[in-house]
Chain A
Amino acid sequence: MSVADFREQLAAGTRAARVVAAVHQATWRKVAQREAALAALPHAGALRDRAAQIRAHVVAHLPDYLEQFVAQATARGAQVHFAPDADAAVRLITALAVQRGLRLAVKGKSMTSEEIHLNAALERAGLRVVETDLGEFIVQLDRDRPSHIITPIIHKDRRQVAEALVRELGCRYTEDPTELSLIARRHLREIFRRCDLGITGVNFAVAETGTLVLCTNEGNGRMCVSRPRVHVALLGIEKIIPRLVDLPVLLKLIARSSTGQALGAYTTLITGPKRPDDSDGPAELHIVLLDNGRSTILAGPHREVLRCIRCGACLNACPVYRNVGGHAYASVYPGPIGSVLSPLLDGPSHADLPRASSLCGACLEACPVKIDIPHLLVALRAEHRARRPLSRRIGLRLWAWAMQRPWLYRLGQRVLRRIVRDDGDGFARHGPGPLGLWTAGRDLRRPPARSFRELWHTELRDER
């Protein structure tokens, strides 16, 4: 994405007042819920330290734990595949489905599957693919994209959900969230009865036992791993944790951080496919280990980002995310963590995202595994300094030069005060001359009538 694209997305995002209002309300609510949940958790600080330690330990010892995980999962009857990149993963899963004659795929919410753009490929191969998480279901009906990694339709209000369901399912119009949810439930229930392939992501994978852990709330994830005869779990290689005893540390934090719940409604531990004497469950469990750039991140200086457990707390805490919404990032992973992950996973097309931050530090404070996102953002910015537009490079150099010469700086202040015209609310949106390049993507606060230095010399000093 170029700077111009980002600016365009930004403008489109901020223009949609409904979107901004919805995202504001939802993120503030989630921040309050997270804070309340963590305040009520005994040893919250120590648990965060432990969680950070466990995840950092895994990142530092990933090959050992991956090998152990694969051996254990295989021993318990799972079939483990390795996909070097998105294309390979898509080809692998499509081939699996086609070879077995599978027709109807149900999906649990999975950001990793968004990352590899799985649905379109499966549909081209003749499968019907149905997203079953309520939010993702609406996203699919609207041919939209999720704008939050936990709450996919955080950008939609109930009217938009109602319109989608009426248009696509032909149901009666209602704006009642309970009725809307029940309409989706009835529709998806028939699909759960008939589906033959379940596709999910994975929250944690336990190396010690080869166990996959899914954290869900609606029950659709459980349907996806118990109804179809084949379950395909898409697992980013960094999602491993060492032992079962490490799981509760992370479970105590993930739901509190993402939704403010002490624990989600369903935490499902999957260890191998249906056993011979089980009465239901998938006969085949396929685990697709996805690299897709992760090993490159691990080999580089930003590997700390691989600790991420995708709780979404940094999105809710971020003042930039709150104001522009998830779509403005134009990447699968939005928000602060997306601004780090997307340039690393996707390369140059997202190189500008690290600039979509005021570096206020709210993301670091919210992160349950203490990823220093501001630090990573600054490091990524530095790597891409050469990509700054020439105008900004010249402008910043002039700024630095003037800052070192007080007389020149004072002169600059006076000039700015004269030429910057605000829109009546203290903010200028159309700067004069070269300043226009700056205000094209930002609002500039109108300089105050008197600078602090001037106040100091005329009034403040006398009050000492």
Chain B
Amino acid sequence: MNADSRPPAPPATFDALLARLRAAAPRAAGGDARGAAPGERAVSADSPDAPLPGDHLDLRAVPPDADRVAVFTAAATAVGVTVHRAARQAWVPVVLAVLEKLGARRILLEAADHTAFRAAEAEALAAALRAAGREPLVRPDDDTLFDGVDAAVAGVTAALAETGTLVTATGPQTARGTSLVPPALVALVDPAQIVGDLLEYFADPRLGATLPANVNLITGPSKTADIEGVLVTGVHGPGHVHCVLC
């Protein structure tokens, strides 16, 4: 583009845009070496589904034989998640102790079949909470969610070892607000749910076809460093995130 020439009028429709981009593509692929990374395919006519160069590289952060629980625990702790270990049959007292420490009185329980926190676990926890004089809540309305919940207990669909990430997905049993609105989140994670890293998680070929409306990769508490770079947690999402491995 010359400094004096006027830029061409923008394409008015999506089809016009595609036509302009297609017209530009061969020229771009031929004459302009800097636009293309080394090894890039030079033509645009081939299918978008064809493999990209570099697809074969194994760039995973966590080797398959690594102790994923240990890697996850270290990474989650580093980003501000408190990780607890519990025996399979003895997780209730651990969760109760966490909630006690948080000072939570009204606790949202969100059971989901695809997680380690199913209906049976929710019932067991609800009974224990009632016995301790606490108030378990299921599917609270908006006002209760915003003002009347001190903590949420839920499961996850997966966890990522490298980054200490908890993965939640929305669905008929799982709401967007659960891991977002209450000031504290307690997540039950089965160690078998821990995958190595993002690359391993997204390599699952079933993922694309089964994506729910929202998947959230939660890495530590809500945070900001907007004011002079000082780390502040609990801005809009939960300031306290606990993970109980059981």
Contact = CB atoms under 8 A, between A and B. Distances in A.
Interface string B224-240: 11111110101111100
A244 B207 contact: yes
Interface in B2-59: 2-4, 7-8, 10-14, 17-18, 20-25, 27-29, 32, 34-41, 44, 48, 52-55, 57, 59
Contacts of B171: 275, 277-278
Among A26, A181, A182, residue most surrounded by chain B Cβ atoms (within 10 Å): A181
Given A217-B222, A299-B28, A263 B18 contact: no
Among B32, B146, B208, residue most surrounded by chain A Cβ atoms (within 10 Å): B208
A42 to B, nearest CB: 5
A218 B227 contact: no
Contacts of B198: 247-248, 251-252, 263
A6 interface: no
A46 B23 contact: no
Contacts of B12: 84
A197 interface: no
A85 interface: yes
Contacts of A252: 61, 197-199
B227 A158 contact: yes
B114 interface: no
Contacts of A222: 176, 180, 216, 236-237
Contacts of A158: 227-228, 230
Contact of B35 (A25, A56, A153, A251): A56
A54 B203 CA distance: 16
A41 B59 CA distance: 10
A234 to B, nearest CB: 15
A64 B52 contact: no
A181 B226 CA distance: 9
Contacts of B229: 25-26, 29
Among A180, A185, A274, residue most surrounded by chain B Cβ atoms (within 10 Å): A185
A100 B55 CA distance: 45
Using C-beta atoms within 8 Å of the partner chain, give the interface range for chain A. Answer: 35 or more
Interface in B120-137: none
B165 interface: yes
B142 interface: yes
Interface stretch (A9-17, A65-73, A392-400, A421-429): A65-73
A236 B68 CA distance: 38
Interface string B199-215: 10111000110011111
B221 interface: yes
A218 B3 contact: no
Interface residues of B, number: 90
B226 A291 contact: no
Given A252-B198, A266-B237, A299 B23 contact: yes
Interface stretch (A186-194, A437-445, A446-454): A186-194
B219 A291 contact: no
A17 B35 CA distance: 40
A296 B21 CA distance: 9
Nearest to B215: A269
A59 B213 CA distance: 27
B98 to A, nearest CB: 20
Contacts of B11: 84, 291, 295
A296 B199 contact: no
A383 interface: yes
A3 interface: no
A342 interface: no
Contacts of A295: 10-11, 17, 20-21, 24
A84 B17 CA distance: 8
Nearest to B171: A278
Contacts of B38: 53
Interface in A164-207: 177-178, 180-182, 184-185, 188-189, 192-193, 207
A292 interface: yes
Interface stretch (A91-99, A300-308, A327-335, A409-417): A300-308
A64 B48 contact: yes
A298 B28 contact: yes
Nearest to B1: A300
A43 B59 contact: yes
A177 B226 CA distance: 9
A65 to B, nearest CB: 6
Interface in B154-199: 162-163, 165, 170-172, 175-177, 180, 197-199
Contact of A372 (B14, B34, B165): B34
B203 A245 contact: yes
Given A61-B48, A279-B175, A383-B3, A219 B237 contact: yes
A135 B226 contact: yes
A134 interface: yes
A251 B162 CA distance: 13
A134 B227 contact: yes
A242 B47 CA distance: 11
Interface in A132-147: 132-135, 138
A375 B214 CA distance: 40
A274 B213 CA distance: 6
A249 interface: yes
A220 interface: yes
A244 B59 CA distance: 16
Q: Which 9 A-B pairs have the closest CB atoms?
A: A219-B237, A248-B198, A226-B176, A219-B236, A299-B24, A84-B10, A267-B217, A56-B37, A135-B226
Given A67-B18, A177-B230, A225-B214, 14 more contacts: A42-B61, A61-B44, A62-B21, A245-B199, A248-B198, A249-B59, A249-B199, A252-B61, A268-B217, A271-B214, A279-B175, A289-B14, A347-B7, A383-B3
Interface of B: 1-4, 7-8, 10-14, 17-18, 20-25, 27-29, 32, 34-41, 44, 48, 52-55, 57, 59-61, 75, 79, 139, 142, 146, 162-163, 165, 170-172, 175-177, 180, 197-199, 201-203, 207-208, 211-230, 232, 234-238
23 contacts: A43-B59, A50-B54, A56-B36, A57-B40, A59-B35, A61-B41, A158-B228, A219-B237, A219-B238, A245-B202, A247-B202, A248-B197, A248-B199, A261-B219, A262-B79, A263-B217, A265-B79, A281-B176, A289-B14, A291-B10, A293-B10, A298-B21, A383-B3
